[in-house]
């Protein structure tokens, strides 16, 4: 269990780093990350949200390892489903296309880091 948690924390740090750097690069390239009402999403906010939901994924993996007969399959199914659902809000924010695509891309990057790492950790 400790190895899974450690793997998850390391993957969380990697996901936070990736999404933070990509958000900063997008902002430098002119993507304003402005959503409904003129509110701009700060890069630090992206880092915080990525870290929080990545750690939720770690907890989910730990719970499934403990109480599921098929933790890997269930984790992957739930994680992919939750990732798909997470793509809906950026479409509803009323942001421009660049911001919407950037936010969707950041969700997919975080999922691309977290899901395979935790699935491998559950197999170990």
User: What pLDDT was estimated at residue 34?
Assistant: 95
User: What pLDDT was estimated at residue 37?
Assistant: 78
> Taking residues 99-107, what's their average pLDDT?
98
Closest CA to 87 of 103, 76, 110: 103
Q: What average pLDDT does the chain have?
A: 97
pTM score, two decimals?
0.94
**From CA 106, how far away is CA 18, in angstroms rounded?**
8
Residue 124 has pLDDT above 90, yes or no: no
| DSSP states along 53-80 | HHHHHHHHHHHHHHH-SSHHHHHHHHHH
Per-residue pLDDT tens digits for 42-93: 999 999 999 999 999 999 999 999 999 999 999 999 999 999 999 999 999 8
3-state secondary structure of 35: strand
């Amino acid at each position: 269990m400790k190895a899974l948690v450690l793997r998850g924390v390391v993957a969380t740090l990697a996901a936070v780093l990736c999404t933070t750097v990509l958000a900063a690069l997008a902002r430098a390239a002119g993507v304003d990350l402005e959503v409904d009402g003129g509110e701009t999403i700060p890069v630090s906010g992206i880092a915080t949200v990525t870290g929080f939901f990545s750690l939720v994924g770690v907890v989910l993996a730990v719970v499934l390892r403990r109480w599921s007969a098929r933790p890997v399959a269930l984790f992957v199914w739930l994680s992919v489903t939750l990732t798909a659902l997470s793509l809906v809000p950026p479409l509803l924010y009323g942001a421009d296309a660049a911001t919407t695509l950037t936010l969707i891309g950041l969700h997919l990057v975080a999922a691309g880091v977290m899901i395979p790492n935790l699935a491998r950790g559950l197999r170990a």
